């Protein structure tokens, strides 16, 4: 079955380690779009940060999956296509538990970043974000709007696993927890992932999962890599992503995504 949609992760997959997209990758992806392929960027980044990277591809006003599938937004107009999030009540319970356990939490609401107070991690993780956190004290623990996601960060793999197990034990029936890379633990509403977002877009276009080509590198790409008929993990990917993908391709530093797409275009 031929490919009709190409879904591409950003960090560690399309982006080089210095957060750039090579001229070669930009050229190949634009060529694929010109030939009629649906191009979808599917990232864990917040909307504003994802849009800035997507603009480098010059694809026009196309759907952009961000927050690991919680949001789908039109890349130029900012029109929301779909938005999911944790209820204020559930988010509050998770945040209060995080304070009790001493976990460093960050919440995302309306594409803004919130913390109770500075904790010294902000500068380290700013490379993934287009905005700086807003510190709101006790109000942090009592959100009044849906929370797009909650993120925990810790440099220790053991501590990250402890946080994950703690969240899953208490809230596992209502949330999904993944390791998206670096020091992070992401918490989303149950059922939110890149695969669900891509399937939503496929439904609008009459495209089957078998007609999707997908690229990724970490656990938050696993549902998408399992779903897509043609799925690739870059050679620098985590083990879980490599296991989920049907194929491997060269690393992000070697423009593996573009090389696979370019080879497909040459075969046409």
- pLDDT tens readout for residues 154-170: 999 999 999 999 999 99
**Separation in Å, CA 139 to CA 21, 96, 207:** 38, 11, 44
Q: Quick one: 158 exposed, middle or buried, by C-beta within 10 A (0-12, 13-18, 19+)? A: exposed
- Are 61 and 37 in contact, with CB atoms under 8 Å apart? no
CA atoms within 13 A on the CB side of 216: 36
Stated pTM of the model = 0.94
Q: What is the structure's pLDDT at 267?
A: 74
What is the rounded CA–CA span in Å between residue 185 and residue 218? 12
pLDDT of residue 268: 62
Rounded average pLDDT over 192-207? 97
What is the pLDDT at residue 124? 66
* Domain span(s) for CATH 3.40.50.1000 in the chain: 5-83+192-267
pLDDT at residue 186 greater than cutoff 80: yes
> Is the pLDDT at 182 greater than 90, yes or no?
no
Which CATH superfamily hosts domain 5-83+192-267? HAD superfamily/HAD-like (3.40.50.1000)
| CATH 3.30.1240.10 placement within the chain | 88-189
| Helix (H/G/I), strand (E/B), else coil: 90 | helix
**Residue-level pLDDT at 55:** 93
Mean pLDDT score, 23-27 = 97
Dist CA 128 CA 73 (whole Å): 18
Q: Summarize the confidence of residues 201-209 as an average pLDDT.
A: 96
Mean pLDDT (whole number) for 59-71 = 95
Residue 232: pLDDT band with limits 50, 70, 90: very high
Q: Mean of the pLDDT values across residues 132-136? A: 93
CATH of 88-189, one of 3.30.1240.10, 3.30.479.30, 3.30.465.10, 3.30.70.20: 3.30.1240.10
What six digits make up the tokens of 228?
A: 């897509």
Q: Encoding tokens for residue 49?
A: 């940060």
CA separation for the pair 22, 15 (Å, rounded): 8
């Amino acid at each position: 079955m031929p490919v009709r949609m190409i879904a591409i992760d950003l960090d560690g997959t399309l982006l080089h380690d210095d957060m750039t997209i090579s001229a070669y990758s930009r050229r190949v992806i634009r060529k694929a779009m010109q030939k009629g392929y649906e191009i979808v960027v599917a990232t864990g980044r917040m909307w504003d940060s994802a849009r800035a990277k997507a603009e480098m591809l010059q694809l026009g006003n196309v759907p952009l999956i961000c927050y690991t599938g919680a949001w789908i937004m039109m890349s130029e107009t900012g029109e929301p296509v779909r938005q999911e999030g944790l209820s204020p009540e559930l988010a509050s319970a998770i945040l209060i538990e995080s304070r009790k356990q001493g976990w460093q939490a960050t919440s995302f609401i309306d594409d803004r970043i919130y913390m109770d107070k500075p904790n010294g991690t902000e500068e380290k993780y700013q490379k993934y974000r287009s905005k700086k956190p807003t510190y709101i004290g006790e109000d942090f623990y009592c959100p009044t709007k849906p929370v797009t996601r909650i993120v925990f960060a810790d440099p220790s793999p053991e501590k990250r696993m402890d946080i994950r197990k703690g969240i899953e034990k208490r809230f596992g029936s209502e949330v999904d927890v993944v390791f998206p890379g670096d020091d992070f633990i992401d918490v989303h509403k149950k059922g939110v992932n890149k695969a669900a977002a891509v399937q939503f877009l496929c439904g609008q276009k009459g495209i089957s999962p078998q007609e999707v080509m997908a690229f990724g590198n970490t656990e938050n790409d696993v549902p998408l890599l399992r779903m897509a008929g043609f799925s690739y993990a870059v050679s620098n990917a985590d083990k879980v992503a490599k296991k989920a993908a049907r194929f491997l391709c060269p690393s992000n530093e070697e423009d593996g995504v573009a090389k696979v797409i370019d080879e497909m275009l040459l075969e046409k």
